[in-house]
Amino acid sequence: MNTEIPFEENQHESSFIDLLADVMFGTGEEVAATAQKEEKDNFIQSWKNEFESLAGIAENFPAKEEPDEADNEEKWQEIRKRFGFNNANPVIIPMNAANLCPEPDSLITAANNFRFMFNKDVAMQQRMGDGEWVTLVRESRRILAEGLGIESGKENNLAILRNASEGNNVINGGYQKWTGMENVINWEENHPTNNQAWELRQKWGGGDDRFEIRRVTSQELDLKNANRKDEEIARCFTRKINDKTRFISISETSNGTGERIPPGVIKIIWEYINGDPMLNDCHFHIDATMAYGAGPINQLVKHCHSLVSSCHKWFLGPKETGILYMDPNKAEDFVPLIFAYDYQIKIPNLGELPRDAMRFELIGQRDDANLITLALTQTWWNEINTLNPGARVVELANYLKKKLEDNNWDIITPYFGEDSVLNEQRSRGIVRVRAPRSERNNKKSLYEWIYESPINNVQIAGGGGGDERPRETFRLCPHIYNLMEDIDKAVDNMNAWRDINVK
């Protein structure tokens, strides 16, 4: 069951394709009498077909009251067919969405087409001011913002950056208003770019008194305890807040343990900060990298001052893209990490820095084709929204956890058996288990073995982790391109590894 609202509907996909086609081939009058007319028509038609066929999946497999498992798998098989790995030989099954995802083939083709076109005319007239490429990048931002539920007209609160690492560092490296004796509240399971990066900022220059870091531990949160109430979990954060707290900075879902801070907890923290005028300078930052594309995040955007994510993970977007949403009332608290051109190819004077998230996009020349493809990625999601991809991510993870439990694996990620509401609130698509190697001989880690040493021709790309043997762990993160049979194969292979490599 999915308890959040779905991605915002986007009514503009055909107008974006038309705009794209106008830029690539010329407007109606310009191409009417040329050979490009046919090419342009074919381009538009191919995208219409793509979107119609995606929308058709939902029509062919309507939601049923008592879902039929075979039907369900057939539906997701249709999605899987859109990814190149499915036709590769050998098939390397991707199951590491927390790290990097394959993109749907149609989006890779689109990005490549743009890139060819871009290289045919690299004139500044196209790339600056109101040039056509700039218009498309602006439109891309608008479509992405709409997908995040950002109010129309406020898309400049959304910076498009390289990745989540950069976004997190805008926050911890960009804030320069420290006066001493202040504090930052972290969760120990934050990604290093939102965790150790704070320590680096704190200690840089030799001192360690710029601010104090107050860490909330997972033991305190006790997210695996089914009886734990949202209020109790939220209290672990709020009891550390005082009038010197400048940031609460958390990962919404941990890439390590897969633990998720429940939506209700995030709302309580947000309301706590907003309910006390003494906390006006307390900034709530959310790293939503394990959430964006794994489920809807509109509610998160509404309950924070800033939010980051990479787009090349669960969101299935082009490589080296990420987002940073910033509340415009907070943007001026941050010095941009890079001070370079905007799309006017102009470096603003200091006093003229943009007062919104655009100040974080003064980053010089960019890969515009990638940025424009992001609009198509969002449109792709809009088309499959009715399939409820967020629920599928949780369904896959729960199926995996059940199988692992049945096979006596020690699961680190919260798992509540049949309780689908709790499963979804306390985790998303990440599943981590303990996978200690034998102390003897030169045995392979599960991470290496499952990729390199296929049994039954199955090779799986998962994620390693943990420290030296015997404390190793292994992570699988199935996504909408995976099928239940992938999970069956993964667990069979894990069991085989255990038989060979543990004893």
Ligand X SMILES: Cc1ncc(COP(=O)(O)O)c(C=O)c1O
User: Residues interacting with ligand X, by CB under 6 A?
Assistant: 98-99, 163-165, 191, 193, 251, 255, 287, 289-290, 310
Residue with tokens 């986007």: 10
Q: What is the closest distance, in whole angstroms, from the C-beta atom of residue 406 to ligand X in the complex? A: 28
Give the residue with the Cβ less far from ligand X, 287 or 383. 287
Q: What is the CA radius of gyration of the chain?
A: 24
User: Distance (Å, rounded) from C-alpha 300 to C-alpha 390?
Assistant: 15
Q: What is the closest distance, in whole angstroms, from the C-beta atom of residue 208 to ligand X in the complex? A: 24
Give the residue with the Cβ less far from ligand X, 165 or 385. 165
Give the residue with the Cβ less far from ligand X, 136 or 397. 397
206: left (phi > 0), else alpha (psi -120 to 50), else beta? left
Q: How far is CA 309 from the centre of its chain?
A: 5
Q: What is the closest distance, in whole angstroms, from the C-beta atom of residue 480 to ligand X in the complex? A: 18
**DSSP-based three-state secondary structure for 87:** helix
Q: How far is CA 194 from the centre of its chain?
A: 15
Q: What is the closest distance, in whole angstroms, from the C-beta atom of residue 405 to ligand X in the complex? A: 24
Give the residue with the Cβ less far from ligand X, 193 or 427. 193
What is the identity of the amino acid at 356? Answer: D
**Buried b or exposed e, range 352-390, using 16+ CB within 10 angstroms:** ebbebbbbbbbbeebbbbbbbbbbbbbbbbbbbbbbbbb
Cβ(437)–Cβ(445) below 8 Å: yes
Give the residue with the Cβ less far from ligand X, 20 or 184. 184
Closest CA to 427 of 188, 8, 98, 165: 98
What is the identity of the amino acid at 397? Answer: A
Give the residue with the Cβ less far from ligand X, 86 or 99. 99
**DSSP-based three-state secondary structure for 221:** helix
User: Distance (Å, rounded) from C-alpha 289 to C-alpha 157?
Assistant: 18
Q: What is the closest distance, in whole angstroms, from the C-beta atom of residue 330 to ligand X in the complex? A: 20
User: Distance (Å, rounded) from C-alpha 183 to C-alpha 329?
Assistant: 21
Cβ(84)–Cβ(102) below 8 Å: yes
What one-character-per-residue DSSP string does 335-350 give?
Answer: --S-----TTS-PPPG
What is the identity of the amino acid at 79? Answer: I
Give the residue with the Cβ less far from ligand X, 251 or 493. 251
Give the residue with the Cβ less far from ligand X, 98 or 387. 98
Q: SS3 string of 107-163?
A: HHHHHHHHHHHHHHCCCHHHHCCCCHHHHHHHHHHHHHHHHCCCCCCCHHHEEEECC
Q: What is the closest distance, in whole angstroms, from the C-beta atom of residue 231 to ligand X in the complex? A: 25
Give the residue with the Cβ less far from ligand X, 186 or 501. 186
Q: What is the closest distance, in whole angstroms, from the C-beta atom of residue 348 to ligand X in the complex? A: 27
Q: What is the closest distance, in whole angstroms, from the C-beta atom of residue 463 to ligand X in the complex? A: 9
Give the residue with the Cβ less far from ligand X, 323 or 480. 323
Give the residue with the Cβ less far from ligand X, 95 or 164. 164
Q: What is the closest distance, in whole angstroms, from the C-beta atom of residue 347 to ligand X in the complex? A: 26
Cβ(461)–Cβ(83) below 8 Å: no
Q: What is the closest distance, in whole angstroms, from the C-beta atom of residue 290 to ligand X in the complex? A: 5
Q: What is the closest distance, in whole angstroms, from the C-beta atom of residue 116 to ligand X in the complex? A: 26
**DSSP-based three-state secondary structure for 39:** helix
Residue with tokens 């392979």: 444
Give the residue with the Cβ less far from ligand X, 23 or 107. 107
User: Distance (Å, rounded) from C-alpha 98 to C-alpha 79?
Assistant: 19
- Tokens for 233, please give them: 């979990």
Q: What is the closest distance, in whole angstroms, from the C-beta atom of residue 252 to ligand X in the complex? A: 8
**DSSP-based three-state secondary structure for 253:** strand
Cβ(306)–Cβ(286) below 8 Å: yes
Q: What is the closest distance, in whole angstroms, from the C-beta atom of residue 429 to ligand X in the complex? A: 12
User: Distance (Å, rounded) from C-alpha 208 to C-alpha 201?
Assistant: 9
User: Distance (Å, rounded) from C-alpha 379 to C-alpha 15?
Assistant: 11
Give the residue with the Cβ less far from ligand X, 107 or 491. 107
